[in-house]
Amino acid sequence: MPDGRDQALSGPVLCRLDHLPDPGGRAFSVEGRRPFFVVRRGGEAFGYLNRCPHAGTPLDWNPGTFLSWDKTEIQCSTHGAAFRIEDGLCIYGPCAGRSLQAVAVRVEDGVVRLADDPGTAPPGAS
User: Model confidence over 78-121: pLDDT tens digits?
Assistant: 989 999 999 999 999 999 999 999 999 999 999 999 986 544 44
Global pTM? 0.83
DSSP assignment string, 19-77:
GS-SSEEEEE--TTS--EEEEEETTEEEEEES--TTT-----SSTT--B-TTSSSEE-T
Q: Which domains does the chain have, with CATH numbers?
A: 13-114 (2.102.10.10)
User: Model confidence over 15-47: pLDDT tens digits?
Assistant: 999 999 999 999 999 988 999 999 999 999 999
